[in-house]
Structure 1
Amino acid sequence: MVGANLKSETLKLMDKRSGIEAEMNAIIEQLSQPGGPGLSGNLVDSEGFPRADIDIPYVLAQRHRLAELKNDHGEITEKINVNIQLLHSAKLTSTPKDSGVEMNQNASDSSAGASGALQNIVSRDSRGANDVDLISGMPFAIVDEIADASPAAEGGLQLGDQIVKFGNVKAGDNLLQQLASEAQVNQGLPIPVTVMRQGALFNLSVTPRTWQGRGLLGCHFRIM
């Protein structure tokens, strides 16, 4: 019973986290529209006066809300990770050896209209959909800027995508340097990228290359 309650609680937390991610993505997309202030752009013009083309109080409120959501996301993710560890510990002591889980990567998900491979965790026994294993990737960066017709856009990356894995980069120190190095080393070669989008994991392939815009990817990552 304790395990069932813990699993139910964790699923609710994951749903709540998905809602937070959706709201974060909406704010990021709104602030990052062409001509917009972005997530950290100046709110004054070249002469030091408040910009007349944007609603400054609204932008400040949205940036503040985004910071709050980021904190809430971190707290919920921490709770989810603790619960997952407890569930795995219980499974190791009580689950028969032949009733584990395996990870399947579907080539497409027509019901969701997803482009790319949606990563699903499927149970090998006869349990229902609510008993899927609660394994989730930990995003470490978010796409907060992306140029049209860029290698990143052509590879399927979208504004607000949260990077779970970029080639060999998963997490750790000096992430921006790691990401830049990974792109440079693999110039002209496809890099497998796993992103979280609206609470779902997608597998993409992005090829760094020179193009008419800046950089090898044409996007900007912000470490979370």
Structure 2
Amino acid sequence: MVATNLKKEMLSLAEKRASMESEMNAIIADLSAAGGPGISGSLVDAEGFPRSDIDIPAVRSKRARLAVLRNDHRSITTKIDETIQILHSLKLPRREQQAPLCTVPSASVHGCASQASSTDMETIAKIPFAMIDEISDASPAAEDGLQLGDQIIRFGNVEVGEALIQCLALEAQSNEGHPISVVVMRQGTPMNLSITPRQWHGRGLLGCHFRIL
């Protein structure tokens, strides 16, 4: 019962955070549009006069709102992390008995499901262990559907354990050129994706950064 309530609380917090991220992204995109002042650019021209090509009160209002959202985002992320830690502590004994530190499939395991399988449905009941906090444009991760703020529930066969960053890296390297079935939580909704690690013009095989929760 405790774990169930904590999961509901975490999903509610995750939905709120996703909503904040959407609003922040919209504000940043608006301020950074062509000719815009950006999130920190000067509101005066070269001669020190207020810029006549922008709506200064609106810009200030959006920047103030962005600052509030960023503070709230940090606060809610802390709450989510605390909730996840509690859930991990509740589940750790069972996991230690039933699962290795992390499971990484061989490169011969390929393919993905377009719809949630029974295994995926079991995974969905679990909690995210990582979040995408950086992603490059035109990267394999971006082109295959991952988005900033996506929370990783399962990446191939990696879903629990220690040294998760190393496990994720090994999973990607072991499946270079082959699709990996990934389950993410996006705005409170579980989603199945197929991500293919591959060479591109940027760094790594994915072009994104995972932050362990």
Q: Shorter-chain-normalised TM-score: which range?
A: 0.5 to 0.7
RMSD: 4.1
Match for 1:219: what amino acid?
C
Choose which of 152, 161, 179 in structure 1 pairs with 2:150.
Answer: 161
Equivalent residue, structure 1, for 2:179: 190
Answer yes or no: is the 8 Å Cα contact 1:17–1:76 preserved in 2: no
1:173 to 162, 165, 170: 162
TM-score, normalized by length of structure 2? 0.58
Which residue of 1 is the match for residue 73 of structure 2? 66
Q: Which amino acid aligns with 1:13?
A: E
Structure 2 CA distance for partners of 1:51 and 1:107, relative to 1, 3 Å? same
Q: Measure, in 1, the Cα distance between the counterparts of 2:161 and 2:89.
A: 20
Letter of the 1:180 counterpart: A
Alignment of 1:74-223 (within 5 A): 74-76=81-83, 107=114, 136-223=125-212
- The SS at the match of 1:211 is coil
> Is the Cα contact below 8 Å between 2:6 and 2:83 reproduced in 1?
no
Shift of the alpha carbon at 1:78? 6.6
CA distance in 1, matches of 2:210, 2:70: 17
Q: Is the contact between residue 21 and residue 199 of structure 1 (CA under 8 Å) also seen in structure 2?
A: no
In structure 1, the residue corresponding to 2:147 is in which secondary structure?
coil
**TM-score, normalising length: structure 1:** 0.55
2:133 is aligned with what amino acid?
A: D
* Equivalent residues, number: 169
- Asked if structure 2 preserves the Cα contact closer than 8 Å seen for 1:141 and 1:221, the reply is yes
Contact 2:7/2:127 (<8 A) preserved: no
Q: Flag the 1:179–1:28 CA change in 2: closer, same or farther, 3 A.
A: farther
Deviation at 1:161, TM superposition (A): 0.7
Q: Distance in 1 between matches of 2:127 and 2:8?
A: 18
More helix as a share of residues: 2
Task: Measure, in 2, the Cα distance between the counterparts of 1:22 and 1:67.
Answer: 12
Taking a change above 3 Å as real, the CA distance of residues 160 and 82 of structure 1, as seen in their structure-2 partners, is same
Assess if the C-alpha contact under 8 Å between 1:187 and 1:208 holds in 2: yes
The 1-side partners of 2:28 and 2:170 are apart by 26
**Distance in 1 between residues matched to 2:153 and 2:84, nearest whole Å:** 13
Offset from partner CA, 1:93-128 (integer Å, 9 cap, x none): xxxxxxxxxxxxx945xxxxxxx889657xxxxxxx
Alpha-carbon distance, 1:63 to partner: 3.3
| Aligned match for 1:20, one of 16, 20, 27 | 16
CA distance in 2, matches of 1:140, 1:8: 17
Unaligned runs of 5+ in 1: 37-42, 44-49, 85-105, 109-115, 122-134
Matches of 2:117 and 2:187, distance apart in 1:
14
Q: Offset at 1:32?
A: 7.7
Question: Higher RCO, 1 or 2 (CA under 8 Å, sep at least 6)?
Answer: 2
CA distance in 1, matches of 2:31, 2:174: 33
Contact 2:114-2:192 at 8 Å conserved across structures: no
Identity %: 41
Kindly state the Cα deviation for residue 216 of structure 1 after the two structures are TM-superposed.
0.9
